[in-house]
Amino acid sequence: MRAELNLRPLAIALAVAMALAAATVIVVAVSLPAYAAEATPPVLVPVSERTWMDTSLGADRRAELALKAMTQQEKLSWVKGWFGSDFGDKKRNPAALPFSAGYIPGTPRLGLPALFETDAGLGVATQATKTPRERTSLPSGLATTATWDRKVAYNGGAMIGTEARASGFNVMLAGGVNLLREPRNGRNFEYAGEDPLLAATMVAQQVKGIQSNHVIATMKHFAVNDQETGRFILDSRIGDADNRMSDLLAFQLVLEQSDPGSVMCAYNRLNGAYACESDYLLNQVLKKDWGYKGYVMSDWGAVHSTVAAANNGLDQESAWEFDKSAYFGAALEEAVANGHVPQARLDNMVFRILRAMFDKGVVDHPVAEGGAIDFAAHGVVSRTDAEESMVLLKNTGGLLPLKAGAKKIVVIGAHADVGVLAGGGSSLVYPVGGSAVTGIGPATWPGPVVFHPSSPLKAIQARAPGASVVYHDGVDAAAAARAAADADVVLVFAQQWVGESVDAVSLSLPDNQDALIAAVAKANPKTVVVLETGGPVLMPWLGQSAAVLQAWYAGTSGGEAIARVLFGEVNPSGRLPATFPVSASQLPRPVLDGDPKDESKRFDVNYHEGAAVGYKWFDLKGLKPLFPFGHGLSYTQFAYSGLAASQKDGKLQLRFKVTNTGALKGKDVPQLYVAPQGVKWEAPKRLAGWDKVELAPGETKEVSVSVDPRLLAMFDSRSKTWRIAKGGYKVLLAHDAADTGAASITVQLPQRVLDVAGKAGK
Ligand code: BGC
């Protein structure tokens, strides 16, 4: 059993311990007496008397009634969670699902089920390396965002929520929406890119899909946890207005659009305070300004105090074993008893948890382990997501789609003979049948490096029956180039593995893959590069390769999806959800802050770019990226016309027409950007809306988009209002954020002031 221990706890515990040692944290009450016995032992409440089970009542009332029936000990049990595995010398709570992320005991006396928690955004993960659950994995979150397709995101969420339920889980720790400020961030693949509107819209759809299964989803990591290096000790520095218009806006929009039952506060500090004890973040912004009614759970090992955390808005300590002390155990009981934490606060903590359980259907639709999973159908959901996510970055001379009649196709590198790469860490979904490649990368968490056993090579071979399709592992670049020289077409696969807790050391492809691609492309100009990366990478060989397909981490059916796009069974329609820089020198922080080898020294990450994230930064500084945000080619072409604007109930409405001017059916993502004329924003323009439309050759469709007024406003911290300045605003209808030929009109907007929630106010 010992050998089966997940090494992740150790990795995290070590880092947390080092961080704590460095952080001079005051540890509250490490050895307090065990819970005092209840004065009157609680009795089972007969089913007929469980008024909170009346489904005709609202979630608020039901939570209120259930709370009233609880003893103090029962209340306390709801705010202290357990990890789903042994942790050092702490044994797993036997009631937790083995190797799961977390467990919160229920109150059976009152008919209230326990909470069983699983990671995360790509599917049902397992916190173990030897005996994992094998489940369906979606492509990375960044890939799903690259579909720009709301329905695809919803379907993916609904699918993984079904698997969570069938696996006995009623809480999914999915809903990651940290903005891509740092292209090297090791968790970018779990998130949704650099633009708050795009990221929030896509994550909200996923959350809705998950919650359609009566499973609570978890928006995370709140907030500004935008790099992994030093995540336990770093202090994210950013002003309130800048934050409200960037990272916080993404969270705010997810809440409004999907109402996740829980929110996970992050590891890092924000402007000095730990996120899980930040009155500003939890009480002021989340609960007061945004009116959030769900509960706040901590990230695993992110709690640093009892009184401050409880009073500043944390509702549940997720895995007490990860924290320096069981802060929400006996210490909290004592703090309530002596008045440092008001009883009303404890009641509110529990109320919020119960309310989410009633509201999302967790109580009325109890979960059980061992449900049937339709892996074939779920594989198609994942494949569709992957296909829609792939971004054709370059396609010189129409090399793609691959034509019938090729005699020799050479496939090189990235284990493309057997599978597609997955990102590492808590979100890893172990593949059905096991990893296609074993024994590489970090042996311990956030490893292992896993490949989903969906072979691009086999899928390519199946589509080229008359051709010789051969594989070369690419380890020896010169040999690979020789093998490629006489091929009709060469497909070089390149990979970049990243994972939770580790940022990419640089934006360059690792392991000499740049040299491999350059050598192969030199030997054969008909070279297509397929990228399996966590996020943006540099491409020094771009000028030499004929075509580049960004395939991200493509999930359970990735190999099949890649082949279908390469052969034109699917017309690529993904668009970049993040800017690809030419070099790291173009970034706000050319060098990543912190030292990945030394997690003991606290440091600040100064987000001096404020709300000018991604393409906004590039616009502001007049920088030309390698590939702009929103970029993506198709095997057909699209033209835009008839851009017009109107204003209804104070809302800007835009409409226009898209025509497929090429010869193939395809999908386009027309994008609307707004650029103020006389007014200064954080950057020259912002994404204001988009749609994804499918068009037959020659077909035209009309699209209309309504613009969230906050995207036309600046946030004013003093008055806590969104302010639209009177003046002219240029609306651009564009193929991407750098589209110089974009159609445009200028609209005149009156001055408007909106309240903190973006509603028409004064
Ligand atoms: C991660 C969370 C995850 C949790 C539970 C943490 O290390 O940051 O995203 O949900 O672990 O596994």
List, as one string, the DSSP characters of 719-755: TTEEEEPSEEEEEEEESSTT-TT-EEEEEEE--EEE-
Residue-wise pLDDT for 98-142, tens only, equals 999 999 999 999 999 999 999 999 999 998 767 899 999 999 999
Which of 195, 235, 247, 299 is an active site residue? 299
For the CA of 119, the closest atom of ligand 1 is: 10
Ligand 1 proximity of 171 Cβ (cutoff 6 Å): no
Nearest of 64, 70, 78 to residue 45 by alpha carbon: 70
Q: In this model, does residue 413 exceed pLDDT 60? A: yes
Q: Where is pLDDT greater, at 12 or 429?
A: 429
Ligand 1 proximity of 117 Cβ (cutoff 6 Å): no
Ligand 1 proximity of 101 Cβ (cutoff 6 Å): yes
Between the alpha carbon of residue 732 and those of residues 97, 172, 250, 671, 675, the distances in Å are: 51, 38, 22, 8, 8
Ligand 1 proximity of 86 Cβ (cutoff 6 Å): no
The alpha carbon of 573 and the centre of ligand 1 are apart by a number of angstroms equal to 32
Which residue has a Cα nearest atom 2 of ligand 1? 299
Neighbours of 467 (CB within 10 A): 19
Q: How far apart are CA 17 and CA 380, in angstroms?
A: 43
Partners of 236 in beta bridges: 270, 605
Spatial CB neighbours of 566, under 8 Å, sequence gap ≥ 6: 400, 401, 402, 460, 491, 528, 530, 549
Confidence of residue 23 (pLDDT cuts 50, 70, 90): very low
The alpha carbon of 266 and the centre of ligand 1 are apart by a number of angstroms equal to 9
User: What is the best residue among 210, 276, 299, 316 to mutate for testing ligand 1's pocket, by most ligand atoms within 8 Å of CB?
Assistant: 299
CATH class given for the domain over 9-31+80-103+113-326? alpha beta
The answer to whether the beta carbons of residues 328 and 79 sit under 8 Å apart is yes
Q: Where is pLDDT greater, at 19 or 49?
A: 49
Give pLDDT, residue 127: 84
The alpha carbon of 345 and the centre of ligand 1 are apart by a number of angstroms equal to 26
Which residue has a Cα nearest atom 7 of ligand 1? 300
Confidence of residue 679 (pLDDT cuts 50, 70, 90): very high
pTM of the full structure: 0.96
- Domain edges within the chain: 9-31+80-103+113-326, 379-576, 637-754
Ligand 1 proximity of 300 Cβ (cutoff 6 Å): yes
Which residue has a Cα nearest atom 11 of ligand 1? 300
CATH number of 637-754: 2.60.40.10
Ligand 1 proximity of 225 Cβ (cutoff 6 Å): no
Give pLDDT, residue 342: 98
Q: How far apart are CA 586 and CA 625, in angstroms?
A: 8
Ligand 1 proximity of 120 Cβ (cutoff 6 Å): yes
Ligand 1 proximity of 15 Cβ (cutoff 6 Å): no
Give pLDDT, residue 404: 84
The pairing of strands 527-532 and 547-550 is parallel
Q: Where is pLDDT greater, at 176 or 648?
A: 176
Residue type, 505: V
Give pLDDT, residue 10: 53
The alpha carbon of 143 and the centre of ligand 1 are apart by a number of angstroms equal to 20
The alpha carbon of 300 and the centre of ligand 1 are apart by a number of angstroms equal to 6
User: What is the best residue among 100, 124, 173 to mutate for testing ligand 1's pocket, by most ligand atoms within 8 Å of CB?
Assistant: 173
Q: In this model, does residue 285 exceed pLDDT 80? A: yes
The alpha carbon of 482 and the centre of ligand 1 are apart by a number of angstroms equal to 45
The answer to whether the beta carbons of residues 532 and 414 sit under 8 Å apart is yes
Query: Six-digit token pair at 358?
Result: 């009633």
The alpha carbon of 223 and the centre of ligand 1 are apart by a number of angstroms equal to 14
Neighbours of 14 (CB within 10 A): 11
| CA angle, 338 then 283 then 60, to 5° | 85
Confidence of residue 301 (pLDDT cuts 50, 70, 90): very high
Domain 379-576 bears CATH identifier 3.40.50.1700: yes
Ligand 1 proximity of 426 Cβ (cutoff 6 Å): yes
The alpha carbon of 700 and the centre of ligand 1 are apart by a number of angstroms equal to 45
Q: How far apart are CA 569 and CA 109, in angstroms?
A: 56
Give pLDDT, residue 654: 98
Half-sphere exposure at residue 140, Cβ-oriented, CA atoms within 13 angstroms: 32
Q: How far apart are CA 595 and CA 580, in angstroms?
A: 24
Q: How far apart are CA 684 and CA 678, in angstroms?
A: 11
Q: Give the SS3 label for residue 122.
A: coil
Half-sphere exposure at residue 760, Cβ-oriented, CA atoms within 13 angstroms: 5
List, as one string, the DSSP characters of 531-550: EE-SS----TTTTT-SEEEE
Give pLDDT, residue 191: 98
Ligand 1 proximity of 191 Cβ (cutoff 6 Å): no
The alpha carbon of 406 and the centre of ligand 1 are apart by a number of angstroms equal to 47
Residue-wise pLDDT for 538-590, tens only, equals 999 999 999 999 999 999 999 999 999 999 999 999 999 999 999 999 999 99
The pairing of strands 752-754 and 721-724 is antiparallel
Give pLDDT, residue 192: 98
Task: Report the percent of the chain where pLDDT is more than 90.
Answer: 91
* Contacts by residues 462-466 (CB-CB < 8 Å, ≥ 24 positions apart): 462/563, 463/402, 463/563, 463/567, 463/569, 464/402, 464/404, 464/406, 464/409, 466/405, 466/407
Q: How far apart are CA 287 and CA 252, in angstroms?
A: 11
Residue-wise pLDDT for 505-535, tens only, equals 999 999 999 999 999 999 999 999 999 999 9
The alpha carbon of 430 and the centre of ligand 1 are apart by a number of angstroms equal to 16
Q: How far apart are CA 498 and CA 481, in angstroms?
A: 27
Residue-wise pLDDT for 461-508, tens only, equals 999 999 999 999 999 999 999 999 999 999 999 999 999 999 999 999
User: What is the best residue among 6, 218, 318, 426 to mutate for testing ligand 1's pocket, by most ligand atoms within 8 Å of CB?
Assistant: 426
Max intra-chain CA distance, the chain? 85
Ligand 1 proximity of 299 Cβ (cutoff 6 Å): yes
Ligand 1 proximity of 217 Cβ (cutoff 6 Å): no
Ligand 1 proximity of 471 Cβ (cutoff 6 Å): no
Ligand 1 proximity of 128 Cβ (cutoff 6 Å): no
List, as one string, the DSSP characters of 618-646: HHHHTPPPSB-TT--B-SS-EEEEEEEEE
The alpha carbon of 719 and the centre of ligand 1 are apart by a number of angstroms equal to 35
For the CA of 173, the closest atom of ligand 1 is: 10
For the CA of 225, the closest atom of ligand 1 is: 8
For the CA of 120, the closest atom of ligand 1 is: 10
The answer to whether the beta carbons of residues 216 and 227 sit under 8 Å apart is no
Q: In this model, does residue 32 exceed pLDDT 50? A: no
Give pLDDT, residue 14: 53
Which residue has a Cα nearest atom 5 of ligand 1? 101
Neighbours of 24 (CB within 10 A): 7
For the CA of 176, the closest atom of ligand 1 is: 9
Query: For 23-38, what is the mean pLDDT?
Result: 40
The alpha carbon of 463 and the centre of ligand 1 are apart by a number of angstroms equal to 40
DSSP state of 436: S
Query: Six-digit token pair at 568?
Result: 């034109």
Residue type, 187: R
φ/ψ bin of 271: left (φ > 0), alpha (ψ from -120 to 50), beta (otherwise):
left
Give pLDDT, residue 31: 37
State the average pLDDT for the chain. Answer: 94
Active site residue 89: no
Ligand 1 proximity of 756 Cβ (cutoff 6 Å): no
The alpha carbon of 187 and the centre of ligand 1 are apart by a number of angstroms equal to 11
User: What is the best residue among 83, 103, 119, 322 to mutate for testing ligand 1's pocket, by most ligand atoms within 8 Å of CB?
Assistant: 119
Q: In this model, does residue 4 exceed pLDDT 50? A: no
Confidence of residue 441 (pLDDT cuts 50, 70, 90): confident
Ligand 1 proximity of 13 Cβ (cutoff 6 Å): no
Residue-wise pLDDT for 599-657, tens only, equals 889 999 999 999 999 999 999 999 999 999 999 999 999 999 999 999 988 899 999 99
Which residue has a Cα nearest atom 4 of ligand 1? 300
Give pLDDT, residue 24: 39
Ligand 1 proximity of 149 Cβ (cutoff 6 Å): no
Q: How far apart are CA 4 and CA 85, in angstroms?
A: 10
